[in-house]
Amino acid sequence: MPEEGIQFMKREEILSFEEIEHFVRAAVPLGITKLRLTGGEPLVRKDLALLLKKLCAIDGIRDTALTTNGVLLADQAQALYDAGLRRLNVHLDTLDRQKFREITRRDDFDRVMNGLMTAKELGFGPIKINVVAVKGLMEPDIVPLARFGVEHGMEVRYIEFMPLDAQGLWLRDRVLTMDEMLAMLRREIGPLDPIPDADPRAPATEFSFRDGSGKVGFIASVSKPFCLNCNRIRLTSDGKLRYCLFALEETDVKHLLRNGAPDEEIQATIIANVRKKWMGHEINSAKFVAPPRPMYAIGG
């Protein structure tokens, strides 16, 4: 998020827990089986564990995950675990406290590390660490983070820098690519092999260290787009349905949820939105247009 100029939504513009649950229950018969709660930062939502308990209990939902910056994780981890959550993605770009402060503009490194260790002790798994790979900034952190993941049984997930930053800093030559990072890891740690029989719909390409010590993943949205395999949709906190992270248009479902629309109408809206999925986001072409919302307002 930028340091200044944020226009926060009024509370009544945000979907209630009941509205989110209603949407998910309507979506399940269409084949939705996996959920991920993202942000902004989901742990700032009061009583989030209550929502997770509702969602984990829905018949047909077999996998629920949470993406967080980890700052509030230690305090809420037990409640989240008791609600049924097991899968976590925690954003952490560096193991250097000073660099962490420079990137995040907050001195919260210890809180994030405490959150990770608390989650590990409680038995969360898999725990994945999300790293945004920016060329000219992140090279010294790629190998140490992988070693940290191996040591603690966590999978580091390197995400190529995408043009969704709130400050408009993205340039194609600032993207640290999957191939460049793979070369670093193979040179400094050891051989990496593609994981066989990987889920073709998964956004990450995963590799395991040949010695069996662990694995890493890459979300190569820029250098190796996976758009034709994407089967995901997004519901924003204010009730907009998006068929792509980079979509330029949104479908409003909040009015359906608040005006007593039958499930069939909600389902028809979801189907129509999915049918609009495009061939790709075209980041690597002159046709690319950044979405009007930055990542923090869409949901990572």
Rg (CA), the chain: 19
Taking the CA atoms of 108, 213, 161 and 241 in sequence, report the sign of the dihedral they define.
Answer: negative
Q: What is the pLDDT of residues 134-173, one digit of tens each?
A: 999 999 999 999 999 999 999 999 998 866 554 556 566 7
CA-CA distances (angstroms) from residue 262 to 253, 256, 284? 12, 8, 41
Quote the CA–CA distance of 43 and 82 in Å, as a whole number. Answer: 15
Query: In this structure, are residues 134 and 161 in contact, taking their beta carbons and an 8 Å threshold?
Result: yes
Taking 70 as the pLDDT cut, the residues of the chain under it are 162-172, 280-288, 300
For residue 193, give the H/E element and its range: strand 192-194
For residue 51, give the H/E element and its range: helix 48-56
pLDDT at 230: 82
CA angle 104, 109, 115 (to 5 degrees): 115
- pTM for this one? 0.90
pLDDT at 85: 97
Quote the CA–CA distance of 120 and 129 in Å, as a whole number. Answer: 12
pLDDT at 121: 98
pLDDT at 190: 96
Quote the CA–CA distance of 278 and 281 in Å, as a whole number. Answer: 8
pLDDT at 300: 63
